């Protein structure tokens, strides 16, 4: 049974989430503020934390940073803050995903399942297969129905970073830093050009990508 910590000052939301998640087999702990949330986490280490940013005592970013000081378990931000900068800052601070309020329960549950799958991964497989293409990570090779798909070294580096973290939202800043270096972390045009090229080579319909998904203004994720 996975343990979930929810830190939010909305008592009605806490109650609704506790009921829904408990009914689905999760063990749920709740906290109405940052200090209580960190104290509960230390007593009952969670397998996944859901954290609001607008807490009454401290900003939720402090909760993310506090948890990241001792655990790598997934953190999902659940917040009414819609600004791209807020999302990027939370993800860079260590959050694994960001869901904005109001939200659908089915979406939150799906994000939770994806985060927990990443936290409890199956044995690493060197080959990732989709209906449109196959990626051999060890051979650094991509094939499609017509044969091998040629990628530039930069395209491969980007694809490999995304594929090795399936369903995880990776920020533009993280991708730029990993592929081009920290001095290029704000050069978002680099990403747009290379992601567009990857989509043209891999996606059945590049205008409606199925595998290389954009979270506008924030980053990208690979959905196998």
Q: Which of 85, 119, 153 is the last residue of a domain?
A: 119
Radius of gyration of the chain (CA): 19
- What average pLDDT does the segment 119-134 reach? 79
Shared-domain flag, residues 135 and 37: no
Burial of 57-84, coded b for 16+ CB within 10 Å and e otherwise, reads: eeebbbbbebbeeeeebbbbbbbebeee
Predicted local confidence at residue 165, as pLDDT: 86
Mean per-residue pLDDT of the chain: 91
Predicted local confidence at residue 158, as pLDDT: 94
Shared-domain flag, residues 10 and 114: yes
pLDDT at 64 over 90: yes
Shared-domain flag, residues 114 and 131: no
| 3-state per-residue secondary structure call for 130-142 | CCCCEEECCCCEE
Q: Domain range spanning residue 137? A: 127-222
Predicted local confidence at residue 121, as pLDDT: 61
- What average pLDDT does the segment 2-26 reach? 95
Shared-domain flag, residues 106 and 134: no
Q: Which of 102, 119, 136 is the last residue of a domain?
A: 119
Question: 179 is written with which tokens?
Answer: 């592929």
No. of helices (H) and no. of strands (E), the chain: 8, 12
Shared-domain flag, residues 107 and 164: no
Shared-domain flag, residues 106 and 161: no
Shared-domain flag, residues 133 and 108: no
- What average pLDDT does the segment 151-179 reach? 90
Shared-domain flag, residues 44 and 134: no
Predicted local confidence at residue 224, as pLDDT: 86
pLDDT at 5 over 60: yes
């Amino acid at each position: 049974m996975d343990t979930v910590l929810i830190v939010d000052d909305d008592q009605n939301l806490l109650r609704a989430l506790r009921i829904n998640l408990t009914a689905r087999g999760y063990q749920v702990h709740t906290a109405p503020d940052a200090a209580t949330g960190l104290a509960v986490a230390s007593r009952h280490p969670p397998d996944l934390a859901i954290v609001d940013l607008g807490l009454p005592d401290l900003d939720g970013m402090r909760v993310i940073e506090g948890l990241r000081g001792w655990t790598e378990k997934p953190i999902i931000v659940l917040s009414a803050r819609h600004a791209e900068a807020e999302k990027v800052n939370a993800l860079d601070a260590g959050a694994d995903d960001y869901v904005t309020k109001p939200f659908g329960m089915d979406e939150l549950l799906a994000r939770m399942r994806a985060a927990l799958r990443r936290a409890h991964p199956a044995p690493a497989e060197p080959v990732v297969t989709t209906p449109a293409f196959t990626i051999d990570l060890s051979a650094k090779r991509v094939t499609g129905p017509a044969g091998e798909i040629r990628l530039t070294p930069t395209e491969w580096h980007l694809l490999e970073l995304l594929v090795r973290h399936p369903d995880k939202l990776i920020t533009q800043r993280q991708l730029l830093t990993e592929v081009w270096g920290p001095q290029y972390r704000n050069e978002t045009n680099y990403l747009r050009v290379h992601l567009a090229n990857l989509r043209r080579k891999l996606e059945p319909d590049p205008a409606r990508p199925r595998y290389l998904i954009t979270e506008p203004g924030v980053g990208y994720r690979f959905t196998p």
